[in-house]
Structure 1
Amino acid sequence: MSSSFERHQKRRLKSSYFSVIVSIALVLFMIGVLGMVVLKSKQIANHFKEKVAITLFLKDNVSRAQSKKLEASLLKKDYTKSVVFLSKEQAAKIYSEDIGEDFLEFLGSNPLKNSIDVYLKSDHVAPLKMLDIKTELSENAYVSEVVYDEPLIQLLTQNIQKISFWILIVASFFGLVAILLINSSIRLSVYSKRFTIKTMQMVGATKRFIRRPFIWKSIRLGIFGAVVASAGLAALFYYTAQYFPELQLLSNKEELAIVFAGVFLIGILITWFSTYFATQRFLNLKTDQLYY
């Protein structure tokens, strides 16, 4: 009879540990995904920013050699990512394709100008900075006009700020939910041992001595949960990288290290704190209060 009861208790204990590990793993998996989203949000924002260009229209008397000299000087600027020269012949061909007919046949001559598109580094794609760059480039002797889409820059900046704000809010909310879920799982696990805790206390064991095995057990469960979550994250990142290579999920080792290290650290810290306060609560209860 006692052997059967012991086997039943062991099965219940294993089932309890398994449910705690699964709960911790799911929560840490969610935290890992959110962490990567937060890290990648800046890269995605920079990707769109670096698609923005300032166009320099050159004067008609500027030779190709002079325009190459201007390109070389632009590449030395700290705000320049790349430059692209577009001749007026190429511009006419592109414009004709856009409108569906050769407009040169009506005009007889090409009114367009040679131009250089200057693609900026993401840190410089902001309304005030681009206005300063436009003013600087307008003073060049080879340049007749400098233009860029100012409303687009304003809209892009505002949208990136809004998206970054909401990503931070969502990440904070889910982080809080994650802490509460793991804390609840650990508390339930400790709750099943409340009579054992009180018995140990009644025979003279110190609070620190009683807490220690519970804390180490929970930390191990947290590590197991982090391992499971990390395996799930690795699989998710791998398959996502196959379909969306532009996100470069696997190329940035530093970001991957931050996410996986964060998952393990959070798993250990939350289980440690949750177990500490859960055992402390039952240690402070009177024996008759354990039944409520």
Structure 2
Amino acid sequence: MSYANIKPTKLKKKDSNSFFSRWKRQIGYAWRNTFNDFSQHIFASLLTVFVIAISITLPTISYLLWKNANQTAQQWYPTPNLTVYINKELTPEQTTELIAKLKSYSEVEQVNYLSREKTIEEFKTWSGFSSALDLLDENPLPAVAIIVPKEEAKKTAILHRLQAELLNLDGIDDIKLDDSWFTRLTALTNMVKSVVWIISIFMIIAVSLVIGNSIRLTIFARKQTIVVMQLIGATEGFILRPFLYSGIFIGFVSAVVSLVLSEIFIFQIESIILNVSDAFGTIINIEGLLWDESLLIILITIIIGWLSSFVATKKYLKMTQIT
């Protein structure tokens, strides 16, 4: 009977000393230290969180501005088409043959043909000179073919090369490619994208320095505790773990606060964008961060916090190593 009472006790003791149980206790000890240190220095911790959050918010807002500007630019000004002016002396059969040649090019997605009668009708509708055109003896406008390029051909260099090739075809008087606004718009969005990358790199460095400095101050505040732990034989990983978790926790909280600030920015700027959209006569929908983008920001900030804590703590432990 006594044997039956002793056996479960031994098993329970054995389970409590298993690898998983010891690992679980160490993880719990590290997280308790992290939360206790955060709560004991709540003002300094919150100040650090807000500094990091603002540093993350700046590139996040820049990215949102670039994303929405790029989408709006595509809405306002699509990829330019080639407008082909066909010789007025061509017969209908020759015109049909010319249109077939235009469609045969690999860069061409679609060709929209407007006859001479259709072009003058549209000109009357949009110009407001219908009464003046009625006084003319004959139609002065040529037939027009509007070439829509394929997706892979929607580049300025390819369109200019296609324009030069088509000008060599018989029956074509001129080809217009109004790509000046498209080129400027593309250059502007690319410039904004480059600025976003530069700001992001500088802010990542700033976040790393802030988290590293915060962990360094925590290390110096617990200097005596670390020395005692080293004297009683605590492993480097056991000493290192609470500081790593502290960096992860600060990074996570800062990223969440940054996402909230970004959403507040989007909410506040929507009224301004509505006024702009009314002025341009179009509808502009402001899009915030998607779920995958938000998770990516949180993950990147957590990794930065972990790396900064690891570098700062390893550097200190190497300086204070007891032999």
Give the TM-score normalised by the residue count of structure 1.
0.68
The aligned counterpart of 1:111 is: 140
The aligned counterpart of 1:134 is: 163
* In structure 1, C-alpha distance between the alignment counterparts of 2:109 and 2:203, rounded to whole Å: 37
Partner-residue secondary structure (3-state), 1:146: strand
* In structure 1, C-alpha distance between the alignment counterparts of 2:212 and 2:185, rounded to whole Å: 40
1:69-116 superposed Cα distances (whole Å, 9 cap, x missing partner): 959x85x9775677666632244326634xx79542664543122324
Contact residue 53 and residue 257 of structure 2 kept, 8 A: yes
Contact residue 88 and residue 110 of structure 1 kept, 8 A: no
Residue 210 of structure 1: how far off its partner (Å):
0.7
Residue 218 (structure 1) aligned to one of 244, 247, 258 = 247
Give the TM-score normalised by the residue count of structure 2.
0.63
* In structure 2, C-alpha distance between the alignment counterparts of 1:79 and 1:258, rounded to whole Å: 35
Residue 249 (structure 1) aligned to one of 241, 264, 287 = 287
Instruction: Please tell me the root mean square deviation across aligned C-alpha atoms, in Å.
Output: 4.4
**Would you say how many aligned residue pairs link Structure 1 and Structure 2?**
272
* In structure 1, C-alpha distance between the alignment counterparts of 2:63 and 2:315, rounded to whole Å: 32
Contact residue 218 and residue 275 of structure 1 kept, 8 A: yes
Residue 130 of structure 1: how far off its partner (Å):
0.8
| 14 and 155 in structure 1: CA distance in 2 versus 1, 3 angstrom threshold | closer
Residue 220 of structure 1: how far off its partner (Å):
2.1
The aligned counterpart of 2:234 is: 205
Contact residue 58 and residue 113 of structure 1 kept, 8 A: yes
Further displaced range: 259-268 or 54-63: 54-63
Identical residues among aligned pairs (%): 21
Contact residue 230 and residue 260 of structure 1 kept, 8 A: yes
Contact residue 50 and residue 121 of structure 1 kept, 8 A: no
Residue 195 of structure 1: how far off its partner (Å):
3.5
Residue 18 (structure 1) aligned to one of 43, 46, 69 = 46
Larger radius of gyration: 2
Mind listing any 5+ residue stretches in structure 1 that lack a counterpart? 1-8, 288-292
Contact residue 79 and residue 154 of structure 2 kept, 8 A: no
Contact residue 198 and residue 283 of structure 1 kept, 8 A: no
Contact residue 108 and residue 150 of structure 2 kept, 8 A: yes
The aligned counterpart of 2:304 is: 270
| 183 and 122 in structure 1: CA distance in 2 versus 1, 3 angstrom threshold | farther
Residue 276 of structure 1: how far off its partner (Å):
1.4
| 118 and 237 in structure 1: CA distance in 2 versus 1, 3 angstrom threshold | farther
Is 1:124 aligned to residue 162 of structure 2? no
* In structure 1, C-alpha distance between the alignment counterparts of 2:302 and 2:175, rounded to whole Å: 56
| 275 and 157 in structure 1: CA distance in 2 versus 1, 3 angstrom threshold | closer
Contact residue 215 and residue 247 of structure 2 kept, 8 A: yes
Mind listing any 5+ residue stretches in structure 2 that lack a counterpart? 1-36, 278-282
1:134-173 superposed Cα distances (whole Å, 9 cap, x missing partner): 2454466775432113655665565555454444334333
Is 1:229 aligned to residue 258 of structure 2? yes
